[in-house]
Amino acid sequence: MSTHKEDYYVLLEIERNADGSTIKRAYRKKALQYHPDKNQDDKAAEEKFKAVSEAYEVLSDTQKRQIYDQFGHDGLSGQGYHGPQDPSDIFSSFGSIFEDFFGFSSEGGGSKKTRRGKDLQYDLTLEFKEAVFGVKKDISFYKQTSCEPCSGSGAKKGTSPVTCTSCKGSGQTRQTQGFFSVMMECYSCRGTGKKIKEFCPECHGAGAVSKKKTLEIKVPAGISDGVRLRVSGEGETAPQGQSGDLYVFITVKESKDFLRDGNDIYLDYPLSCIQASLGCKVQVETLDSKETFTIPAGSQHGETFKLKDKGVPSLRSRGRGDFFLRLHITVPKKLSKEEKTHLENYAKASGLPFGNDVEKKKPSSGFFQRIFE
């Protein structure tokens, strides 16, 4: 019979159906809470740290988790697993989790960490049709680039960096406190494994200088407001390392005529009540052409007419959205004497009250009328 152990899911405060990322986040939270470096001389915290570490080791392993879910702690004991036997063994099976959490490796030897330059952000504003059909834009910005006189080494021309004596060129040093031992970035050489005796006068040892960069950006057709474009390798350059990326954040100006809904375009077209009643033909400017719409007699306010494939090009596939003409029926505010006479004759012929006449018949029972009744 195994000694009593707290349920692994309870220890990490997660549901039994939690996925791998949830388990990892829960362990990180608990590991930081009970870490021995934060709780020196607290044996209870140390034991809790061992327990949550053991829980993570089991639940992050598909085979061990399956056994535990089916048979509990006894099932693991039956498989010859009794948890880490030595405190230092707790960390031997976690691999990259220490890199994810703390930025260093738990392995003894280690290797120099490849430095990566900072990512940069550029805000680019486009006109409405530029976003619809795509455009090429030249943008200029300042970025840290490798120093030419020293070729990014940071050392004075004619000299070279020397091997760091603190880490012997590995870029990492071992830090030990109690039972906890990890490899950390060397404080002396900042993880490069090299030290500079004579600094480059151009970059003062930084290995990089700030320079203006002009770049042509190709904006694809169909891009929308809020989209982010990634330009690989155009961020800042890390000395003796990799360049970061440039992220171009897109803002699209609104159109005074068109309304965009996904890949569809809507145009509100003002039409007089007379035209709507009698029907007519209207010519309108779409995104890239002039088109004629036939408005049938009796058309109503808000009615739409569609032109297929005249909308916005699809960003991720072929084809385009549709173009919709939406009627906006207008009533004239001023009438000429002749216009007024014709409308009055129409009203009389239709039996419609106007002016000082009183409407006596019951209004037609529409949707809202039925609700109020």
pLDDT the model gives residue 178: 56
> What's the chain's Rg over C-alpha atoms?
36
Lowest mean pLDDT among 129-133, 147-151, 189-193, 250-254: 189-193
The CB-side HSE value for 240 (13 A sphere, CA atoms) comes to 20
- Grade residue 177 by pLDDT with cuts at 50, 70 and 90: low
Q: Which 8-state DSSP code applies to residue 192? A: S
Mean of per-residue pLDDT scores for the chain: 82
Lowest mean pLDDT among 26-35, 185-194, 304-313: 185-194
Q: Which residues of 214-236 are buried (b: 16+ CB within 10 A; e: fewer)?
A: eeebebeebbeeebebebeebbb
- Does 367 have pLDDT greater than 70? no
Answer with the residue of higher pLDDT: 98 or 344: 344
The pLDDT tens digits of the residues spanning 97-109 come to: 444 444 444 444 4
What gap in Å lies between CA 176 and CA 6, rounded to an integer? 29
The domains found in the chain, sorted by start residue, are 8-102 (1.10.287.110), 120-252 (2.10.230.10), 258-350 (2.60.260.20)
Q: Is the pTM of this model over 0.95?
A: no
Answer with the residue of higher pLDDT: 5 or 269: 269
Q: Which two tokens stand for residue 118?
A: 């900072």
- Grade residue 114 by pLDDT with cuts at 50, 70 and 90: low
CA dist 8 to 61, 66, 168, 195, 300, Å?
13, 13, 42, 47, 66
Answer with the residue of higher pLDDT: 61 or 305: 305
Answer with the residue of higher pLDDT: 359 or 275: 275
- Grade residue 364 by pLDDT with cuts at 50, 70 and 90: low
- Does 262 have pLDDT greater than 70? yes
Q: Which two tokens stand for residue 143?
A: 């970025």
pLDDT the model gives residue 104: 42
Mean predicted confidence (pLDDT) in 120-143: 95
Mean predicted confidence (pLDDT) in 144-160: 87
> Are the CB atoms for 216 and 137 separated by under 8 Å?
yes
The pLDDT tens digits of the residues spanning 10-27 come to: 999 999 888 888 998 899
pLDDT the model gives residue 326: 97
**What are the DSSP calls for 78-101, one per residue?**
HTT--S-SSGGGGGTT-TTHHHHH
Mean predicted confidence (pLDDT) in 86-107: 43
Mean predicted confidence (pLDDT) in 175-186: 69
- Grade residue 78 by pLDDT with cuts at 50, 70 and 90: low
